């Protein structure tokens, strides 16, 4: 009798454990689903409904991209009365440029702004933006980035499941040499160049007789310290903010290419945001983009003046005739692009010169 009573008691206890166990599983699943909907900061009192956006990028804070990201964060916070907070992580402190696109697609980070070249791995047509001498001046950039072509390019991102928000600017790229200036196409022969991952950029250096090697941005400084490269192309603001000029002091102002960024958000994160928040983010992005276009130009000009003050830096302004010779040498890149992808996008961009 006593045995039966003990058995019943045990079954009761197991029953209670089972119910508690099921309850815990249901609670954990529910909590996870809620978190996946949007990232909330539920640790701080009174901020249970705050939406947090992690925005990761690889350059220094005091660069056109770093400053535009901060500007965007301020505008979003203002426009949503603090309901949305954008946390900006600079200098590749969260992800390097080789990792950030995958991190965005996995949803580990909500926003990134990789350079155009890095998008070409996903959307080869974006190589058009890496063609040398495509843009003549900052007016071209403004019209292309904020017009119909810009929308078309951002639309291609959406086909890949990424919300394209805007195109941001850094500036025109300049050519840098470690031991001598790069003025004529022949000057590139036999030299080793660090490049961003992009087929067009790779071919550009091969046409010039150089040996291009793709290296992520966060590895450049160390590679330069180890004398691994004879040259590279970059913008004045990246050259200045990262101190690349200390290793590659021969800078040719060639304005031969353009470094811009695709500002993007994880699509399913975007889709789950309330409509009014999407609206405020769109407004903040439009304002931050206009600000970035003005600011990037001014910053590159200002920092060029700073570089002129450095005794160790040798600046050379490419003449019209020299520029023409570069253009001739690199013309096959256009033919090859048109053969591979057709001329539609190329012609739409060129229309802006007229």
What residue ranges bind ligand SIN (CB under 6 A)?
58-59, 97, 115, 170, 196, 217, 234, 238, 259
What are the Cα distances from residue 331, in Å, to 121, 133, 263, 337?
23, 10, 30, 10
For residues 59 and 241, give the distance between their C-alpha atoms in angstroms, rounded to a whole number.
9
CB 85 within 8 A of CB 52: yes
- Pick the closer one to ligand SIN by CB: 271 or 301: 301
For residues 101 and 97, give the distance between their C-alpha atoms in angstroms, rounded to a whole number.
8
Minimum separation from the CB atom of position 215 to ligand SIN (A):
8
- Pick the closer one to ligand SIN by CB: 117 or 266: 117
- Helix (H) or strand (E) run with residue 36 in it: helix 2-37
Query: Given its phi and psi angles, is residue 133 left (phi above 0), alpha (psi -120 to 50 degrees) or beta?
Result: left
- Pick the closer one to ligand SIN by CB: 216 or 267: 216
Minimum separation from the CB atom of position 23 to ligand SIN (A):
48
- Pick the closer one to ligand SIN by CB: 56 or 80: 56
- Pick the closer one to ligand SIN by CB: 58 or 176: 58
User: CA triplet 153, 130, 282: central angle to 5 degrees?
Assistant: 30
- Pick the closer one to ligand SIN by CB: 126 or 217: 217
For residues 248 and 251, give the distance between their C-alpha atoms in angstroms, rounded to a whole number.
7
Minimum separation from the CB atom of position 156 to ligand SIN (A):
20
- Pick the closer one to ligand SIN by CB: 219 or 325: 219
Minimum separation from the CB atom of position 226 to ligand SIN (A):
18
Minimum separation from the CB atom of position 309 to ligand SIN (A):
23
- Pick the closer one to ligand SIN by CB: 116 or 326: 116
What are the Cα distances from residue 253, in Å, to 36, 65, 171, 175, 208?
47, 21, 12, 7, 17
Minimum separation from the CB atom of position 58 to ligand SIN (A):
5
User: CA triplet 212, 217, 222: central angle to 5 degrees?
Assistant: 85
Q: How many CA atoms lie within 13 A of 72 on its CB side?
A: 30
- Pick the closer one to ligand SIN by CB: 50 or 70: 70
Minimum separation from the CB atom of position 113 to ligand SIN (A):
7
Determine how many CB atoms are found less than 10 A away from the CB of residue 24: 10
For residues 275 and 186, give the distance between their C-alpha atoms in angstroms, rounded to a whole number.
56
Minimum separation from the CB atom of position 14 to ligand SIN (A):
59
Minimum separation from the CB atom of position 111 to ligand SIN (A):
14
Buried/exposed 292-316: b ≥16 CB within 10 Å, e otherwise = bbebbbebbeebbeebeeeeebebb
CB 233 within 8 A of CB 173: yes
Nearest residue to ligand SIN, scored by beta-carbon proximity? 217
């Amino acid at each position: 009798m006593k045995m039966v009573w003990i058995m019943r008691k045990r079954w009761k206890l197991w029953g209670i454990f089972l119910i508690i166990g099921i309850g815990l599983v249901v609670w954990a699943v529910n909590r996870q689903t809620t978190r996946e909907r949007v990232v909330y900061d539920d640790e701080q009192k009174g901020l249970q409904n705050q939406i947090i956006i992690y925005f990761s990028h690889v350059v220094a804070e005091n660069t056109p991209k770093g400053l535009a990201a901060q500007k965007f964060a301020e505008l979003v916070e203002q426009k949503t009365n603090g309901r949305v907070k954008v946390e900006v992580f600079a200098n590749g402190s969260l992800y390097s440029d080789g990792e950030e696109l995958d991190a965005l697609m996995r949803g580990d980070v909500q926003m990134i702004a990789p350079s155009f070249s890095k998008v070409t791995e996903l959307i080869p047509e974006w190589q058009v933006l890496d063609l040398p001498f495509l843009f003549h001046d900052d007016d071209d950039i403004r019209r292309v980035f904020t017009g119909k072509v810009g929308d078309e390019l951002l639309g291609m991102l959406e086909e890949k499941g990424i919300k394209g928000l805007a195109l941001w600017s850094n500036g025109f790229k300049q050519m840098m040499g470690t031991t001598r200036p790069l003025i004529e196409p022949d000057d590139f022969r036999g030299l080793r160049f660090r490049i961003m991952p992009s087929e067009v950029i790779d071919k550009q250096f091969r046409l010039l007789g150089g040996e291009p090697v793709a290296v992520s941005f966060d590895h450049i400084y160390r590679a330069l310290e180890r004398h691994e490269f004879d040259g590279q192309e970059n913008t004045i603001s990246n050259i200045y903010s990262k101190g690349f000029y200390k290793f590659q002091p021969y800078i040719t102002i060639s304005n031969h290419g353009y470094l811009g960024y695709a500002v993007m958000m994880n699509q399913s994160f975007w889709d789950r945001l309330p409509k009014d928040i999407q609206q405020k983010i769109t407004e903040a992005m439009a304002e931050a983009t206009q600000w970035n276009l003005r600011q990037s130009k001014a910053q590159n000009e200002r920092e060029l003046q700073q570089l002129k003050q450095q005794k160790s830096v040798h600046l050379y302004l490419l003449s019209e005739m020299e520029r023409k010779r570069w253009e001739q040498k690199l013309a096959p890149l256009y033919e090859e692009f048109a053969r591979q992808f057709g001329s539609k996008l190329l012609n739409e961009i060129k229309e802006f010169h007229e």
